[in-house]
Structure 1
Amino acid sequence: MDKKIRLMDFSFGTSLRNAREKRNYKREQIAERAEISPRFLAAIESGRRKPSLDVLIRLVNAIGASFDEILALQVNADSEIVDRIMRLVPQCSQRDQKLLLALVDKMLDTKEKKADK
C-alpha cells in the first residue's frame, strides 16, 4: 500500500476521533447512531479499517460534524514548529521541496519499521 494513502487513512481516523471527542461523545453513542458496532468504529478511528461511503456519511452525521472537518488534512496549527515549517517551505525551490518530502517520507518509513518490530 502506498505511504501517502496510509498517512491519509490515519489522518482520517484521527480526525474522526478528534471530532467525536471534541463533542464529548463516547464511541458507543456514535456507533449506535451510525448503526455500526463500536468495535468497527474503533477500527476505523485507528486506521485498521476503511468505511464505505455510506458508513462515512452516517458517521459524519452521527457526530454532527462537517465533511470538511473530518476529511480535511489535519495540521496542528497551534504548533510553532508546524507554523514555521508552513511559512518556510514555500520559500524553498521546487527541488528543495522534493528533497524535504523525501526526507519526511524516509523518517516515516524508519518510524514505521521500528513500530512493526
Structure 2
Amino acid sequence: MKKVKKNIEIDNKAVGQRIREEREKFRLSREEFAEILGLSDYYIGQLERGERQMSLPVLVKIVNCLHISLDYLIFGKTSGGVYDSNKDTELNNLLNKCSPGELEIVKKLINTILPYLCKNQPFSS
C-alpha cells in the first residue's frame, strides 16, 4: 500500500487573527503583549497580519501566554481547556462563596494576571 503524503497548509493570516483576538481578550496592547513575550511589537504585528511565520519557541511562548491550545492557534480547532472544574473542589468552594459582583472582580483579576504567568513558566503547559 502506498503512503499518501498530506501537505498541511497553515493559514498564517488566520493564525495571526487568532493571536490578535486572544490578545485583545486580555485587553493587552501589542506593545504590552510583546513585552511579556520578550519580543518586539513590530514582530508581533507581522505575526498578527500573517506576514511572518514564527519559530517553535515563539509559538510555545504565545500559546502559554494566551492560555490556548496549539490546535486552536494553528487550525482553529478547540479541544477544551486543561482545567477540570470538577477536580478542584477547593477553588470551586471559594468561588461558590462569591456574590455575582465578586465573581466579576475575580474574572477581571484572572484576565489581568493570566498573560503574565507565562513569564514565570515559559515552556510549561
User: What is the one-letter code of the residue matched to 1:52?
Assistant: S
Once the two structures are TM-superposed, the CA of residue 56 in structure 1 deviates from its matched residue by 0.9
Looking at structure 1, the residues matched to 68 and 76 of structure 2 have their Cα atoms a distance apart, in angstroms, of 15
Q: Deviations over 1:2-40 (max 9, x none)?
A: xx84x7111100111111112211111211111110000
| Map of 1:38 onto structure 2 | 41
Q: Which one of 30, 41, 45 corresponds to residue 27 of structure 1?
A: 30
| Map of 1:51 onto structure 2 | 54
1:12–1:45 contact (8 Å) kept in structure 2:
yes
What RMSD, in angstroms, separates the aligned Cα atoms of the two structures? 2.0
1:19–1:69 contact (8 Å) kept in structure 2:
no
User: What is the one-letter code of the residue matched to 2:14?
Assistant: S
| Map of 1:61 onto structure 2 | 64
Q: 1:63 to 1:71 in 2, by over 3 A?
A: same
Looking at structure 1, the residues matched to 11 and 49 of structure 2 have their Cα atoms a distance apart, in angstroms, of 12
Q: Which one of 14, 36, 59 corresponds to residue 17 of structure 2?
A: 14
Q: 1:10 to 1:73 in 2, by over 3 A?
A: same
Looking at structure 1, the residues matched to 57 and 74 of structure 2 have their Cα atoms a distance apart, in angstroms, of 15
User: What is the one-letter code of the residue matched to 1:48?
Assistant: E
User: Aligned pair count?
Assistant: 70
Q: Deviations over 1:19-76 (max 9, x none)?
A: 11122111112111111100000000001111101111112222233323322337xx
Task: For CA contacts below 8 A with separation 6 or more, give which structure has more relative contact order.
Answer: 2
Structure whose residues are more often helix by fraction: 1
- Identity of aligned pairs, percent? 30
Looking at structure 2, the residues matched to 24 and 17 of structure 1 have their Cα atoms a distance apart, in angstroms, of 10
Which runs of structure 1 show a deviation greater than 3 angstroms over 4 or more consecutive aligned residues? none
Give 1:76-95 correspondences, 5 Å limit: none
Question: Structure 1 length normalisation: TM-score?
Answer: 0.52
Q: 1:14 to 1:32 in 2, by over 3 A?
A: same
Looking at structure 1, the residues matched to 36 and 64 of structure 2 have their Cα atoms a distance apart, in angstroms, of 9
